[in-house]
Structure 1
């Protein structure tokens, strides 16, 4: 079984849709992050008037909304193909490697999120 694809076998517009997919992954997640930040800012202003001591705890939704934009950047980079030719070819030859690769990407990306959660738990006690 061969996985070789030649340029002549794919349509001329295929790269356009590939790059548009990567651009869409970045643009729409950043727009969602901006919307989440704006909605959180309204809540931060309201809590600043009612209970000023809770302003720093109110910043957490802004951080979470920013993480969405970072995940969009990661998806755009992965779709662009910077993950590596060896990983893609390895997945083509051994399809069971795909799940492990995705899990490694997910766990390495959320490491900072876990650190923030642990620090919040430690500061509350």
Structure 2
């Protein structure tokens, strides 16, 4: 038995990769659903004020970042993998999950609760809608940073790693 390979490629290594895959999708969906739930009150309130110009803001779009990272991670999951690769997959899942989950929550507080006022104001003054959408985009770009870092980590996870013996 080659103990070096057992230390480098333990049987439980793929668990960390699968955990990264799960963290990516769970945290992003949590953040996006929280943002959507908080925005619903503002949307309905603005619809009561002016029902002819009901605007819909979708915070669920940022959960796509977690889906992209999860698909990339799951395509690289194998039974025997290097611990280095598995930890980078876990880190990539946490990077995109936390980067999207926190803006999703902030999307609710900064871009949905503060724009609660913007939504009400934009129903009375439609020219404010563009500014409100720009604020939404600025909050969502933080999730884009997370998915870029995640993809960089995933591309580096197999570079320079010798294959585990099968």
Alignment of 1:1-125 (within 5 A): 8=6, 9-55=8-54, 58-59=55-56, 61-62=57-58, 65-81=59-75
Matches of 2:15 and 2:63, distance apart in 1: 23
Q: By how many angstroms is 1:7 displaced?
A: 6.3
Q: State the distance in 1 between where 2:75 and 2:34 align.
A: 28
Q: 1:11 to 1:32 in 2, by over 3 A?
A: same
Distance in 1, matches of 2:5 and 2:26, equals: 28
Structure 2: stretches of 5+ with no match in the other structure: 77-129, 131-166
Q: Deviations over 1:21-66 (max 9, x none)?
A: 00010011011111111111111110011111221xx21x22xx12
Aligned match of 1:111 = none
Q: What displacement does 1:11 show?
A: 2.2
Q: 1:7, 1:80 → 2: CA distance?
A: 23
Structure 2 SS opposite 1:42:
helix
Q: TM-score, normalised by structure 1?
A: 0.52
Query: What is the distance in 2 between the residues matched to 1:21 and 1:54?
Result: 42
Q: Higher relative contact order at CA 8 Å, sep ≥6: structure 1 or structure 2? A: 2
| Aligned positions, number | 74
2:147 corresponds in structure 1 to: none
Distance 2:29 2:38 in 1: 14
Instruction: Please state whether the residue corresponding to 1:11 is helix, strand or coil.
Output: coil
Give the 3-state SS of the residue equivalent to 1:21 in structure 2.
helix
- SS of equivalent residue, structure 2 residue 32: helix
Structure 1, unpaired ranges of 5+ = 1-5, 83-120
